[in-house]
Amino acid sequence: VAHALRVCTLGFLAFKLLGGRFWAISPSSFTNIGSFARASIPATSKYATPSERLAIERLGRATGCHTCGSRMLFTSSPVKFHGDHMPPQAVTKQLNDKWYRKLLGIQVKQRFYPQCVPCSNKQGSILSKATNELRKMEAERNSLNFLKRFGNNLPDLQKAGGGRLAHFHGLRLRTSHLTGGVIGAMTVGSVNGERLPERDLRNGNQKRFRAIQEEIEKKLLSVLAWFDR
C-alpha cells in the first residue's frame, strides 16, 4: 500500500509539473469554459471592443483556443480568435432569469476567452438550435395551466454543448502525457548508483521510490528549518 501511495503521489506531482490540469481531461464543452482555458479578460454583455479583440487575439496565439487548444498556426487569416463570452449570452440570460437571482439581484459575471473561428462557428450553431428548442418548449409550457407548469422542466442551455456534441481532444498530444514516461524512468532507475536485480524491478522498484520519498522529506525538512530560524 505504501508503495502504491508513493507512485500515485509522484505521478500526481509529475502531472502537475508538466502542466497537466484535471479540468482538461474531460471532453471540452462548447457552452462552458473549455478544457484548454487559461487566461481571460473581463467582459460585459456587449461585443468586444477593438482593444479587447486585440487582447483576445494575442491571448489566443499565446495560449490557444479555450475549447480545442489550437493556436491556429497554419491559418493565414488575420483574425484567428474571437472573444467568447463565458458563460455565453444565451446561457447568461437563462441563468439571470432564475427567480432567486432576480430576488437577490445576483447577476452572472462574464469573461472573454479566446476561441478559434471554427469552434466559435460550431458553438453558434449549437446554441442557435438549443435556443430555438427552448423557445418552443417555453411556448408549450406557457399554454399549460399553472399547476402543470411545475413538472415541465426546460432544457439547460449550459449543457447544450456538452455530451456527444463536446469537442473530444483525447488524441491531442500534450506535455502532461509524458507523466507515464517519467514514472517509468523512476521505476527502472538505479538507487545510489547501484543497478537493481530484475526481481526488484518487477516489483516496481520499491527501493527507488522510497529513496525519492526520503530525499523529498529531507528537502522539506531543510526548508522548514530555514523558516524556523
**Span 9-18, mean pLDDT?**
78
Question: Do both 104 and 217 map to the same domain?
Answer: no
In a shared domain, residues 103 and 48: yes
List the domain range (segments joined by +) for residue 6: 1-20+174-229
The answer to whether residue 87 scores a pLDDT higher than 80 is: yes
CA distances for 185 relative to 4, 7, 167, 173, angstroms: 16, 12, 32, 20
Measured in whole angstroms, how far is the alpha carbon of residue 26 from the centre of its chain?
Answer: 8
Question: pLDDT tens digits for 165-199?
Answer: 998 876 666 676 677 777 777 676 655 666 666 66
Neighbours of 17 (CB within 10 A): 12
State whether 77 and 110 are in the same domain. Answer: yes
Last residue of a domain, one of 128, 154, 169: 169
- Residue 80 has what pLDDT? 96
The pLDDT assigned to 134 comes to 92
- pTM of the model as a whole: 0.70
Count of domains for the chain: 2
Query: Mutual orientation of helices 179-188 and 206-227 as an angle, nearest 10°?
Result: 110
What span, in angstroms and rounded, lies between the C-alpha atoms of 88 and 120? 11
162 and 54 inside one domain: yes
Residues 93 and 157 in one domain: yes
- Shared domain for 73 and 186, answered yes or no, is no
Model pLDDT, residue 193: 60
Q: Please give the pLDDT value at position 208.
A: 73
